[in-house]
Amino acid sequence: MTDPKISIVGAGLAGSLLSIYLAKRGFAVDLFEARSDMRIGEAARGRSINMALSDRGIAALREVGMDEYMLDHAIPMHGRLIHTPAGDTKLLPYSGRKGEYINSISRAGLNAALMTEAEKHDGVSFFFKEQCAAYDLSSSELEFASGKKARSSLVFAADGAGSALRQSLAKEVDGFASHSDFLEHGYKELVIPPGEGGKFLIEKNALHIWPRHKFMMIALPNLDGSFTCTLFLALKAAENSDEPSFEKLTDEAALTDFFAREFADALPLMPTLAEDFFSNPTGTLGTVDCSPWHADGRVLLLGDAAHAMVPFYGQGMNCAFEDVRTLDGLIETHGSEWSSIFEAFEQERKPNAAAIQTMAIENFYEMRDKVADPVFQRKRELETRLEQTYEDYFSKYSMVTFREDLPYAEARRRGNLQDELLMRLCSEAGEGHTVDAATAIELVRSL
Ligand SMILES: Cc1cc2nc3c(=O)[nH]c(=O)nc-3n(C[C@H](O)[C@H](O)[C@H](O)COP(=O)(O)OP(=O)(O)OC[C@H]3O[C@@H](n4cnc5c(N)ncnc54)[C@H](O)[C@@H]3O)c2cc1C
């Protein structure tokens, strides 16, 4: 049996990385991408400009020799820097161990680098401005919005959260179930530009958070000295409520008033606030659950197409990259037995994707509410001490973010047990009292 020519729908982060892995195994790959080539035109608006790359994603990049190159183009973020309403700041480190941090990286820069790397391999071809509309399982044809068709007996659907191929499978495959759950909150990207000479106007090596309970703003650094801020806010306020919402911020006066009240330290650093706010799109945030992820040994959904998640754990891309790495491991084991590969892939990845999807939603509440809670802050301080002192202690955040050897589902299971215990200890100890690390680690170990 000769190996089929493979088609990948979507040359985003997962699709482009997958093409490199497949090319390294000697497969010929066609990539069909709806947008134009981002290396030539301007990056599309509406997706995050920068994102947090961490160990699971780095592990996948390492296997294709791109980790060092990408980390050279990233800014380390050592912790969450909390901005209180009064303008005070406090750093909550991500880990007590040296060398455990996350990296702010440009989405477009990473995507473009992956495409350029893929093109170095013979047999990889990109077809831009080709929006796939469906895959016809009976004729093995991909159908495009342009009316074009392409025959392909092996298709990887990496076409993101709104996947057309997922919708196509929903129509074609008996028993296919798909459900998307949207948050009531949306997001908007804003900018803190660099100071004179490219100076960073707030701490460079941190992920900034302005937690305000029902909403929050975050900011990640860019190489040019600017920060991309993301405001997460209810799309609509509940009836008869005076809560802020995107719906209510309809003019510059209301917007400036809102920022002056809630983000007073950031406002003077955002000279283009109104322009950015009223011209940038408001994005929605959803979780996609579907099953099965494959059909007929010929199509496989992966990345956001299979399991889009809300962005609050900074893991969507990292998880999509881990998908690709897992898939490659299964090809190593099963050769070209695609049905077995797809079956094993879904079995291994689905519980882990579900775990990180749930943790991502939970982290939304942690970031906007809990990080401002003194008990939670004491617990994070205790966890930092535990990580500094005991080699075997990893917080849930560390297990998810820095332990590529631990599946997400296991990180969640262990992390939840620990969290419950440590929150109880810190709450019982009360303000101003330090929980003894030796006692805490013994209790954690006994879990
Ligand atoms: C605001 C925000 C912040 C985020 N921050 C982080 C973060 O810090 N860390 C992290 O790990 N993750 C983050 N994520 C999640 C991350 O963006 C996604 O998980 C990741 O992009 C998934 O990669 P993908 O290749 O599956 O999908 P995408 O990157 O969305 O790529 C899909 C590609 O398919 C193309 N396409 C779509 N439809 C078609 C079609 N019909 N035909 C052909 N092509 C098509 C698209 O143009 C795109 O190029 C964030 C997401 C958001 C929204």
Q: What is the CATH number of the domain that holds 349?
A: 3.50.50.60
236 and 255 co-located in one domain: yes
Query: What values do phi and psi take at 149, rounded to 5?
Result: -135, 150
Query: What values do phi and psi take at 289, rounded to 5?
Result: -125, 120
- Alpha-carbon distance of 320 to 306, in angstroms, equals 9
Q: What does the pLDDT read at residue 152?
A: 95
Q: What does the pLDDT read at residue 42?
A: 65
Length of the chain, in residues: 447
> What's the number of domains the chain is made of?
3
DSSP state of 91: E
Instruction: Evaluate: CB of 50 within 6 angstroms of ligand 1.
Output: no
pLDDT digits (tens, 9 = 90+) for 378-400: 998 999 999 999 999 999 999 99
Instruction: Evaluate: CB of 13 within 6 angstroms of ligand 1.
Output: yes
> Ligand 1: which atom is nearest the Cα of residue 318?
11
Q: Residue 46 pLDDT > 90, yes or no?
A: no
CA of 233 to the centre of ligand 1 (A): 21
Token pair belonging to 119 = 């093109």
Q: What does the pLDDT read at residue 1?
A: 39
How big, in percent rounded to 5, are the helix, strand and coil portions of the chain?
45, 20, 35
Q: Residue 315 pLDDT > 90, yes or no?
A: yes
222 and 112 co-located in one domain: no
Residue span of the structural domain in which 276 resides: 181-284
pLDDT digits (tens, 9 = 90+) for 248-261: 999 999 999 999 99
- Alpha-carbon distance of 258 to 242, in angstroms, equals 12
Token pair belonging to 163 = 């996947």
At 277, is the secondary structure helix, strand, or coil? helix
316 and 429 co-located in one domain: no
Of the three residues 316, 334, 364, the one that is the final residue of a domain is: 364
210 and 317 co-located in one domain: no
225 and 304 co-located in one domain: no
Q: Whose CA is nearest to atom 9 of ligand 1?
A: 314
pLDDT level of residue 239 (50, 70, 90 thresholds): confident
Token pair belonging to 389 = 């002192």
> Ligand 1: which atom is nearest the Cα of residue 220?
8
Is 147 within a domain? Answer: yes
Average pLDDT over residues 272-287: 97
Q: Which helix (H) or strand (E) holds 437?
A: helix 437-446
- Alpha-carbon distance of 215 to 446, in angstroms, equals 37
Q: Whose CA is nearest to atom 21 of ligand 1?
A: 317
145 and 268 co-located in one domain: no
- Alpha-carbon distance of 60 to 67, in angstroms, equals 8
Interstrand relation of 207-211 and 79-83 (parallel, antiparallel or unpaired)? parallel
CA quadruple 98, 100, 101, 105: dihedral sign: positive
> Ligand 1: which atom is nearest the Cα of residue 285?
53
> Ligand 1: which atom is nearest the Cα of residue 35?
47
Instruction: Evaluate: CB of 16 within 6 angstroms of ligand 1.
Output: no
CA of 107 to the centre of ligand 1 (A): 9
Of the three residues 260, 284, 308, the one that is the final residue of a domain is: 284
CA of 111 to the centre of ligand 1 (A): 10
Range in 163-167, 215-219, 371-375 with the lowest mean pLDDT: 371-375
CA of 59 to the centre of ligand 1 (A): 19
Is 71 within a domain? Answer: no
CA of 161 to the centre of ligand 1 (A): 7
Is 11 within a domain? Answer: yes
130 and 225 co-located in one domain: no
- Alpha-carbon distance of 312 to 236, in angstroms, equals 20
Is 174 within a domain? Answer: yes
Is 100 within a domain? Answer: no
- Alpha-carbon distance of 393 to 372, in angstroms, equals 24
Is 360 within a domain? Answer: yes
201 and 271 co-located in one domain: yes
124 and 219 co-located in one domain: no
Of the three residues 331, 347, 364, the one that is the final residue of a domain is: 364
- Alpha-carbon distance of 338 to 157, in angstroms, equals 14
Contact (CB, 8 A) for 211 and 368: yes
CA of 339 to the centre of ligand 1 (A): 26
At 90, is the secondary structure helix, strand, or coil? strand
Buried-exposed string 108-126: b where 16+ CB fall within 10 A, e elsewhere: bbbbbbbbebbbebeebeb
- Alpha-carbon distance of 232 to 66, in angstroms, equals 32
- Alpha-carbon distance of 378 to 318, in angstroms, equals 29
Is 268 within a domain? Answer: yes
pLDDT level of residue 43 (50, 70, 90 thresholds): low
Contact (CB, 8 A) for 161 and 304: yes
pLDDT digits (tens, 9 = 90+) for 78-115: 999 999 999 999 998 999 898 999 999 999 999 999 99
pLDDT level of residue 47 (50, 70, 90 thresholds): low
Average pLDDT over residues 179-188: 96
Alpha carbon 312 to its chain's center = 7
215 and 346 co-located in one domain: no
201 and 313 co-located in one domain: no
Range in 191-195, 240-244, 290-294 with the lowest mean pLDDT: 240-244
Q: What does the pLDDT read at residue 5?
A: 80
Q: Residue 442 pLDDT > 90, yes or no?
A: yes
Q: Residue 372 pLDDT > 50, yes or no?
A: yes
Higher-pLDDT residue of 195, 3? 195
CA of 417 to the centre of ligand 1 (A): 32
Is 251 within a domain? Answer: yes
Pocket residue to mutate for ligand 1, from 7, 13, 155, most atoms within 8 A of Cβ: 13
219 and 294 co-located in one domain: no
Token pair belonging to 346 = 């879904």
Instruction: Evaluate: CB of 270 within 6 angstroms of ligand 1.
Output: no
